[in-house]
Structure 1
Amino acid sequence: MTDDRAERVARLIAPLRVEPGSRVNLGKDFDPRYKGGLKKKHGVELLRTGVSLLAEYQERLAAQDTYGVLLCLQALDAGGKDGTIRHVMSGVNPQGVKVSSFKQPSTEELDHDYLWRYAARLPVRGDIAIFNRSHYEEVLVVRVHPEVLERQRLPKDVRGPDIWDRRYRAINDWERYLTDNGFKVVKVFLNLSKEEQRTRFMKRLDVPERNWKFSAADVRERRRWDEYQHAFSEMLTHTSTPWAPWYVVPADRKWFARISTAAVLVHTLMDIDPAFPVLGKEARKDLRAARRELEADAPKGAPADPYAARHRVPEAGGKERSGGHGVRGSKASGGASRTGKRKGE
């Protein structure tokens, strides 16, 4: 990370990072309405910058084909996961991004260990995978709803009171394994206040076009607010690690949540600093041969290299190749000038 953009991104997300080894009390330690001194009117431009950086680094990530990135998004209902994904990833190449949403496990998934279905959706090298809800459901929903744990058909001797500590350890080890193999794990918890959740639920009830997004189950889960706050606090305490730290993103203001999530993801990609591959001697030789063949195929009067005719493209030795380089036919016949523009343009 060599430019000042990286420093600005790092400053923005620093207050959101859960320090590994720290004890978290979600309600006391993180403010859902925090906005880092920013104003909403600046949010559009900041998000546009973040999306632009994501597009730039995603292209390099894909070209390098060495690292993969997994973004885990956790939140309560109405926390803004879908909207965050839609806005933050709006400018990237969809071929390099895969979004997976995890709901109630199927019969087949219940026949496997609890991490199996998540492992099956991991990114390949060069790609970004997004988990809309993630393996952390196994220490959140499953913890709040013991009946879900029963459906996992675990042996009796592993259902003891230390099951959550063992799951935290297993998840940390799994994420360390992924990181050691070149797959970065980025974890964002969208922290919503109880009143903001109520407001968003009411909007879903009031606006007919949003009725489909509301479920009676949402209200039933809301009754367990305190249980979820405790489960989130325990999750953040035990699974924010040096290799995969948690970021608690304030979610009451959607614009700030989207900027912050983009910044966390950009920070990870800048830290990787993927580079375009450098071609070897034989590959460059092949490119020179291809160039000669394509230049020889140019119609009379047309630039041998149409791209170089419009842009000042440096040659291999660093010398600028003029727009007129290699033009077939005379300059008087409409070839490119030294400025890279064709006569008459």
Structure 2
Amino acid sequence: MSVAELFHVPAKFELKDADASRKLIGSSTGQKSEDKQADKLQTTALAEQISGLQEVFAANHDHKLLVILQGMDTSGKDGTVKSVFGQLHPLGARTVAFKAPSQAEKDRDFLWRVHKEVPGKGEIVIFNRSHYEDVLISKVHGWIDDTECERRYVHIRDFERMLVETGTIVLKFFLHISNAEQKQRLEERLADPDKHWKFDMQDLAERVHWEAYQRAYERALTATDTREAPWYVVPSDSKTQRNLVIASIVDERLASLNLKYPPGNLEYSKLIVE
């Protein structure tokens, strides 16, 4: 069974049954420090492979790859970008971090600002948060009702299907952390002066709505998991396991394309030799 199959959201899914600390690959030594080191080494090796696959991916200039990272505050979206995708060539890859929409973006449909950021041919784009924010936070805070929420899920399914049908590979990762782990990470940010810049009082405000967010994510994952654009639930209490799982799935998907370098134009090669 592939890593993707192990972590694909099940048909009957309840987030309360998903263990955020479960370790399903690696971690065979029984020693925490040794396991973490092994995870890091494997992730680094996979990141190098992904970087190599990126080159042939870009050379073919055919497919597009969109990676979506969603999760509660402190779940590790930034860390995933750095550890898994940090070796990608910047000319063929970019990360888009979606913040609160501007007035101009609010004046248009919620997918407008997202559509213009999707990858072009041969490009890899990572969404640090995404169009799902316009359903999740809006539903939790009561800015949209159930009817509008379900309507947006329909729009998202149609949008992602359109992307896939026009050559985009869509991989969606939910970085699942426990309530206790989030509390610990927030406390670590407060305790370390070098991490104060990462602390935002809004994180505490949103933490109050933890249960509502869990229900919202559960519905989002089940409503928008499709064959074309699957969701993967990644246990993220362990940062090293989180990175290893995501790197493994991305590597598997790119390798499955079996891409080869396209033939070059050698018409004028003799002139160079001469």
Q: How does 1:160-239 map to 2 (within 5 A)?
A: 161-239=146-224
Identity score, percent: 35
Secondary structure of 2:91's counterpart equals: helix
What amino acid sits opposite 2:271 in the alignment? Answer: A
Aligned to 1:297: none
Tell me if 1:107 matches 2:97: no
What amino acid sits opposite 1:173 in the alignment? Answer: D
Secondary structure of 1:266's counterpart equals: helix
What amino acid sits opposite 2:257 in the alignment? Answer: I
- Write the distance in 1 (CA, Å) between the matches of 2:176 and 2:123: 27
Aligned to 2:49: 53
- Write the distance in 2 (CA, Å) between the matches of 1:93 and 1:240: 30
Q: How does 1:57-136 map to 2 (within 5 A)?
A: 57-136=53-132
Secondary structure of 1:94's counterpart equals: coil
Deviation at 1:127, TM superposition (A): 0.7
Of 3, 7, 12 in structure 2, the residue corresponding to residue 23 of structure 1 is 12
Deviation at 1:146, TM superposition (A): 2.1
Deviation at 1:187, TM superposition (A): 0.3
Deviation at 1:32, TM superposition (A): 0.6
Larger RCO, structure (CA 8 Å, separation 6 or more): 2
Gaps of 5+ in 2: 28-34
Larger radius of gyration: 1
2:25·2:245 contact (CA, 8 Å) conserved in 1?
Answer: no
What amino acid sits opposite 1:290 in the alignment? Answer: L
Aligned to 1:248: 233
- Write the distance in 2 (CA, Å) between the matches of 1:49 and 1:193: 28
What amino acid sits opposite 1:34 in the alignment? Answer: R
| Greater mean deviation of Cα atoms: 30-39 or 73-82 | 30-39
Aligned to 2:268: 286
What amino acid sits opposite 1:94 in the alignment? Answer: P
- Write the distance in 2 (CA, Å) between the matches of 1:126 and 1:109: 27
- Write the distance in 2 (CA, Å) between the matches of 1:96 and 1:161: 39
Secondary structure of 2:69's counterpart equals: strand
Deviation at 1:118, TM superposition (A): 0.4
- Write the distance in 2 (CA, Å) between the matches of 1:90 and 1:45: 14
Aligned to 2:30: none
Deviation at 1:37, TM superposition (A): 4.8
- Kindly report structure 1 stretches of 4+ aligned residues shifted beyond 4 Å: none
Secondary structure of 1:162's counterpart equals: helix
Q: Deviations over 1:228-270 (max 9, x none)?
A: 0000100111111001100011110000101111112112212
1:192·1:252 contact (CA, 8 Å) conserved in 2?
Answer: yes
Deviation at 1:196, TM superposition (A): 0.3
| Greater mean deviation of Cα atoms: 246-255 or 40-49 | 40-49
Sort the Cα spacing of 1:37 and 1:130 in 2 relative to 1 into closer, same or farther, 3 A: closer
Tell me if 1:14 matches 2:10: no
Q: Deviations over 1:60-88 (max 9, x none)?
A: 11000001101110010001100110111
Deviation at 1:97, TM superposition (A): 0.9
2:62·2:122 contact (CA, 8 Å) conserved in 1?
Answer: yes
- Write the distance in 2 (CA, Å) between the matches of 1:113 and 1:124: 21
2:64·2:167 contact (CA, 8 Å) conserved in 1?
Answer: yes
Tell me if 1:36 matches 2:24: yes
Q: Deviations over 1:265-304 (max 9, x none)?
A: 112212223321124xxx33322x13422xxxxxxxxxxx
C-alpha root-mean-square deviation of aligned residues, in Å? 1.4
- Write the distance in 2 (CA, Å) between the matches of 1:212 and 1:285: 56
Deviation at 1:11, TM superposition (A): 2.6
Secondary structure of 1:146's counterpart equals: coil
Secondary structure of 1:284's counterpart equals: coil
Gaps of 5+ in 1: 1-9, 150-159, 294-345
- Write the distance in 1 (CA, Å) between the matches of 2:80 and 2:25: 20
TM-score, normalisation: structure 2? 0.93
Q: How many residues align?
A: 266
Deviation at 1:133, TM superposition (A): 0.2
